[in-house]
Chain A
Amino acid sequence: MKHYYTDEKNTLILISLLKQHNIRKVIASPGTTNISFVGSIQFDPFFEVYSAVDERAAAFMACGLAEESGEPVVLTCTGATASRNYVPGLTEAFYRKLPVLAVTSSQHEGRIGNYVAQMLDRSGQFSDMVKMSVQARTVYSSEDEENMVTSINNALLELTHNTPGPVHINLYTTYSNNFVVEELPKYRVIRRVKEDGYPDLPKGKIGIFVGAHAAFSDEETAAIDAFCESNNAIVICDQISNYRGKYRFLTSFVNNQPVDLGTKKFDLLIYIGSVHGAYMSFSGKQLWRVNPDGVIRDPYRNLTYVFEMDEINFFKHYATGENNNTIKELCDKASEAAIKKIPELPFSNMWIAQQTASKIPSESILHLSILNTLRVWNYFETDKTILCYTNSGGYGIDGCLSSFLGSATVNPEKEHYMIIGDLAFFYDMGALFNKIPSNVHIMLINNGVGTEFKNYNHRASYFGEEANDFMAAKGHNGFKNENLVKELCDKREIAYCSASDKKSYLSVISNWLNKGSGPILLEVFTNDKDESDALEIMNNILVSDAVKARVKRFVKRMKKRVKRHGK
């Protein structure tokens, strides 16, 4: 009788990654629920499988075997109280720092608490029992599959990460009796590099993707520049990346175009910093993350390496001193080509950003509120001495103003500029009832609605005007009431000015920008249609003439059809 692997994908992922991480020793306890796993590995000559009936003894055996062999040891058990008997042995493994992986098999988690026989709740663990616990659910979608690949890699790496110790995987099963997979699929493996074992850089284009980041020191900037020069790399930035070296590429404008000018696809992405600001369009064949925390973070589900080290050490390691950079010129030309073609924009946050971004005074701090403001202000460059921030950690609109005022209050020597939409402003307006320092310049873009949800390419656009009430929250706070914020400012001793068109804007902006004019608030009244139109224009600057012609012909045909058939 030939023996093949189970068709349960989460189990296949686990087995594939155990092999790729070279974890071969398994102590199996008998049961039904873990048969998909045991039935697959017991015939695979890679694995050394031992039996132990008492799970408590099994876990202690794993301690002894892990310590003596210097290798991780896997435990596998069924449902019911089997896994509870692992607890003492896992506790010992925790205190003795031994890499023991407890794979407990389980029925569907929806059965927890429903008095289904043998079903336990394995979602909570004692603090000193395992370093990490992962729920390895049944895979139904491609995102489930990618999630499992990341989670299981993370669990296996944690066995020996920093202080070795036990890890738990709760492996769900559908009790499939199909052991039909002849060849074990090779799922993506993630590895961690600390001091040695650096992989070779792939050849081709490299993008250093910088999420939210603190200001870079001169030395860090030089290290990144040297890396880029020798490895044909560009630094994919948004405003909150705060990288201001030679290879900065403010990506949004060019990469949001419907054509690819060679700036979107990379052979390797290197990810530093935390969560990004603007939603930028780019992709890489694989992702390497560099961060001293060494944590597995896999935003695009293509992570292959995590470098647990300071960024500067990583970049210095790979810089060769040669000059092989061709991508910078490509990106610069694409940016120039796009900027040249910008037509007159409607009066909107986008137009304001176009007019004002480069005029924010040097050495200032700029805050951009979530989300549309953050988006449009990423289309235009700011002075290279400016540091920019947004609440990209939680991505909420609830504290944008507070975060800005906090920074302004404790950094009185730096002028602080904030661009904020009306939903975010009024959400957090209570922050203005604290002491407001004089280095504060707030620009409130008030269109009376969550413009984010009214943009042409947002999923709420499907609903048209019917999105206004409950998706876009139109009409709150007096709907563009001209006196509300004015009176608020008056009460809080904040200088107030307003604008409702290009002319009035241009007449007040210089004063708003002036150092020493604060605290000052400029309220700009726009409308969501102009906001959306401006965004659509900017996102289609570089559509090729051929495409434009095709689109024009298509739209003409559709209009004729509608007229003919009334559909």
Chain B
Amino acid sequence: MENKYLYIVSNLSEQRTREIANIINDEATILYAIDCRTALYLATGIAEQNLEKVIVLVDENNTSRSAFSGMTEAFYRKLPIILVTIGSNVDYSKKINDTINSFYSINSFEELLLIDDMAYPAHIEVAVENYNYEKVNCEKVQHLLQGKLINDEYLYVGQGIKNEGYDYKCKVVNGGTVGCFDGAVANVLGASLSGMRDKYVALITDIELLHDINTLGNINMNDTVKIIALCSKSCEYLGNIAATLGFNVEAVNEIDIDKNIVGTFINSAQKGLLLVKR
């Protein structure tokens, strides 16, 4: 194999990916994956078929932890995958044994091109500043929820949502870890299994919903769960999936949302998904 990296699978934004690809190989074929776990398995599929190295780009936060099932796959099949984690939000000083054959810590993407004779699969940490994910500001929705959720109720605010300066009467859980959008719906579902309250409300972004889409169909999903998802793009398809699974699905433009809509939604007797289009 030549040293040139022909394939990149990215968990980052298009703009960030392009900047990095211009350094590594501006002619590389790039695939995007919202879910880091998916990204790794995309890479294994490419590597096994094309017998070429594949770089996977992901921020070094808890999101990158989803890479390790795919890295295990690559390890046992000796696939030339290079997991590149950017930043330093989690600790990779110790290793899970059967996931990588080499590890490097570098300070720039240019240095990546200087590494020879990597043993695959490999993990490269790029020690640059952590990416600052912009959180969604949804003041209107939050003010409405503030007025509707009472003492004995539960609100989970996802990592994608800006949550400062709100004075809720209910229990508020700021779940997740910095920069990671996995597990929000599962967290809320898990909490609801305690049976301690009548309502378990999740305020999350569409990205967080997408990361956890297979949780909607969990057999334990129950009528205390209400999900409010802020959608930056069209997310009708998410609503269709939820409706098929028995959710009460509503969609509203953020500009039109009011206390009646919010109140009716969270007080519904059925598990629910409210898509708030921005």
Q: Tell me whether B191 is interfacial, beta carbon within 8 Å.
A: yes
When C-beta atoms are compared, the residue in chain A nearest to B182 turns out to be A88
- The answer to whether A128 touches B196, judged by C-beta atoms less than 8 angstroms apart, is no
What 1/0 flags go to B207-226 for Cβ under 8 Å of A?
A: 00000101100111000000
Tell whether, in the assembled complex, residue A61 and residue B98 are in contact, meaning their CB atoms are under 8 Å apart. Answer: no
Given known A-B contacts A51-B219, A63-B187, A89-B183, A68 and B66 have beta carbons under 8 A apart: no
B73 at the interface (CB under 8 A from A): yes
- Chain B contacts for A64, CB-based, 8 A: 156, 173, 175, 186-193
For window 75-126 of chain A, which residues contact chain B by CB distance below 8 Å? 81, 84-85, 87-89, 91-92, 95-96, 112-113, 115, 120-121, 123-126
CB distance from A329 to the nearest CB of B (A): 55
Q: B94 contacts which chain A residues (CB < 8 A)? A: 124-127
- In whole Å, how far is B169's beta carbon from the nearest beta carbon of chain A? 17
- Interface residue? A289 (CB, 8 A): no
Find chain B residues with CB under 8 A from A95 CB: 62, 177
Most chain A CB within 10 A, of B154, B175, B183, B185, is at B183
The answer to whether A57 has its CB under 8 Å from any CB of chain B is yes
Question: Contact between A68 and B214 (Cβ–Cβ < 8 Å)?
Answer: no
CA of A113 to CA of B66 in the docked complex: distance in angstroms?
A: 22
| B46 on the A face (CB < 8 A) | no
B176 within 8 Å of A by Cβ?
yes
B271 located at the interface, meaning its Cβ lies under 8 Å from any Cβ of chain A in the complex: no
A538–B194 Cα distance when bound, in Å, is 65
- Determine the chain B residues whose CB is within 8 A of the CB of A23 once the complex forms: none
Q: How far is the CA of A58 from the CA of B214 in the complex (A)?
A: 11
A-B CB pair tally, cutoff 8 Å = 149
In the bound complex, residues from chain B placing their C-beta under 8 Å from that of A60 are 182-184, 186-187, 190, 212
Min Cβ gap B156→A in Å is: 8
Set of chain B residues within 8 Å of A233, measured between Cβ atoms: none
B50 at interface, CB cutoff 8 A? no
Flag if A57 contacts B191 (CB, 8 Å): no
Q: Chain A interface: which size bin?
A: 35 or more
- Tell yes or no: A332 within 8 A of B by CB: no
- Asked if B134 CB lies within 8 Å of chain A CBs, one says no
A residues 367-383 touching B (CB-CB < 8 Å): none
Q: Quick one: CB contact mask for A472-489 with B, threshold 8 Å, 1 for yes?
A: 000000000000000000
Chain A residue contacts of B190, Cβ below 8 A: 27, 60-66, 68, 73
Task: Find out whether the CB atom of A126 lies under 8 angstroms from the CB atom of B194.
Answer: no
Besides A92-B176, A121-B97, 16 other A-B contacts (C-beta < 8 A): A27-B190, A50-B193, A51-B218, A52-B215, A60-B182, A61-B193, A64-B173, A64-B175, A64-B189, A69-B194, A84-B96, A87-B96, A88-B62, A88-B182, A96-B177, A121-B96
**24 A-B pairs, CB-CB below 8 angstroms?**
A27-B190, A52-B186, A53-B214, A56-B37, A60-B212, A61-B193, A63-B187, A65-B193, A68-B154, A68-B192, A68-B194, A73-B190, A84-B69, A84-B99, A85-B69, A91-B65, A92-B183, A96-B177, A121-B96, A121-B98, A126-B90, A127-B94, A128-B90, A129-B65
